[in-house]
Every structure is written in structure tokens, then in C-alpha cells.
Amino acid sequence: MSNRIDVSDLDVYYGDFLAVQGVNMTIEARQATALIGPSGCGKSTFLRTLNRMHEVIPGARVQGKALMDGQDLYGADVDPVTVRRLVGMVFQRPNPFPTMSIADNVLAGVRLNNRRMSKGDQQELVERSLRGANLWNEVKDRLARPGSSLSGGQQQRLCIARAIAVKPQVLLMDEPCSALDPISTLAIEDLIAELKSEYTIVIVTHNMQQAARVSDRTAFFNIAGTGKPGRLIEMDDTSTMFSSPREQATEDYISGRFG
């Protein structure tokens, strides 16, 4: 398994509204790919197509292809629940279950997948996932406390622990630091650098410095105007995108000369 994703001619609709059009993109395995672009250009929409979360919205649908390691994520015989386990997601606002304990939060996704585990295996998975999310040392003495007893940055790392506990291959992150202070943001960025040795990571960010710091490749989406579909304008190695993009629109966006 290489966990590479190949998207071709992807159109994404909300009912009759074409929100994202004609995306062709390769997301390399075990790298961090940043999605950037102005508000409303369809970054979140596109991201959610990669784990079949888009289609849970009534009327929402997808045309085109998204392959993971050559396997069609939208194949007729593919269970979307399986796709969501293989392709985990972390959201903009940390969303732990507030009254559930820290340990149970980590196990929540695993339980959803109906995996039966012994107490010992559960404890081990909790520790491994919390270590993986760089949170273990901060919470190991209070695993029974509620998820809401953690700081925002800790809650986001708890959500990352919950996401990796189900052993995904890909992690989608939609502005995972936008609700966090600079220190917590750096902690998450460090974590992304570590996680990408094991997972393919796709991160949406409005922070250009963050895209430059954490990602190997960057994709710039843009929108021609209200009601028009978002499109992928260009994608390249992050260093190239930030030093010598091919498109003027990319240059304008990354240098803050936008809109």
C-alpha cells in the first residue's frame, strides 16, 4: 500500500450547484499536501469528497474519479464507511465528545467500527494513539477526565488521536489550527511533520506560512466569481509554488495581493 490518491475530472455538486469543477490531482503517499485558496473556492468541499463525507449532505454528489492506490473510492462495491475509516478527518473546531472521558474519546471511532477489543488492547491503543498525537505525557494521569477538560490545542490533538486510533491511511485536516493559539498551532504542525512518515496528509489552510512550513506539495484553488465553480489552478512542490508559481493568480494569492 502506498496510499496515493489520484483524482481525475472530478466535479462536485450540491444539488444543481457545481461547487468544484474538473479537478485533476495526484496526492502523493506519505507527504503533506496543502490546499490553499480564497474562501468559497471549494477546498472543504473537495476535501470531503476524498473520504465520501460529501455525499452525506442531501442532494450532494460527485462525478469523475478518485482512486486510492488504483482502487476507485466511489466503486459500486466500495462501502463508504470503509473509506471513512481508511481516510480519517480532523475538523476546524476540535470536536471531542465533551462528557466522554479522554480515553473513551480516543476509542470512539474504533467502537463505531464495531471492533471488539480486550481491556488491555484498549489501554494499549489509547496510549499508542495519544503518543502518536503528542498528547500522552499531558494526559496520562487523567485519562478518565472528560474531553472538555482539555485546552483547545489539547482537544485538537485528542481528535487527531481519535482519528489515528482506527489506523487510517490518509488524514484529511480542514484548517486544523484555525481555532488554536500559536503555541498549539506549532504543536500540531510538528505533529503533522511526524505523522506524514506514516500517513498521507491533506491539509486545508488559510495560513501561507503554515502551508510553506508543513507541506511538501501545495495545490491552489480559485474561483472566478460568485456562483462559479472552484477550480484547481495549479499544484507543485511547495517550494516551487511559493518561489515561482506559474500562474499570476497563484502569485497574487500567496503574496496577499488578492481581492
Ligand X SMILES: Nc1ncnc2c1ncn2[C@@H]1O[C@H](COP(=O)(O)OP(=O)(O)OP(=O)(O)O)[C@@H](O)[C@H]1O
Q: Which residues make up the interface to ligand X (CB under 6 A)? A: 14, 17, 19, 39-45, 57, 230
Q: Where do contacts with Mg ion occur on this chain (CB under 5 A)?
A: 44
Buried-exposed string 74-104: b where 16+ CB fall within 10 A, e elsewhere: beeeeeeeebbbbbbbbbeebebeeeebbbb
Shortest Å, Cβ 32 to ligand X: 18
Shortest Å, Cβ 259 to ligand X: 12
Q: Are the CB atoms for 106 and 158 separated by under 8 Å? A: yes
Closest CA to 229 of 21, 34, 87: 21
Q: Which amino acid is at 241?
A: M
134 binds, among Mg ion, ligand X, none (CB under 5 to 8 A by kind): none
Q: Which is nearer to ligand X, 45 or 184 (CB)?
A: 45
Shortest Å, Cβ 43 to Mg ion: 5
Shortest Å, Cβ 95 to ligand X: 16
146 binds, among Mg ion, ligand X, none (CB under 5 to 8 A by kind): none
> Minimal CB distance to Mg ion: which residue?
44
Closest CA to 164 of 51, 88, 52, 91: 88
Cα distances from 3 to residues 67, 113, 162, 168, in angstroms, run 10, 21, 20, 10
DSSP 8-class letter at 148: G
57 binds, among Mg ion, ligand X, none (CB under 5 to 8 A by kind): ligand X
Shortest Å, Cβ 234 to Mg ion: 19
Q: Which is nearer to ligand X, 126 or 214 (CB)?
A: 214
Q: Are the CB atoms for 235 and 34 separated by under 8 Å? A: no
14 binds, among Mg ion, ligand X, none (CB under 5 to 8 A by kind): ligand X
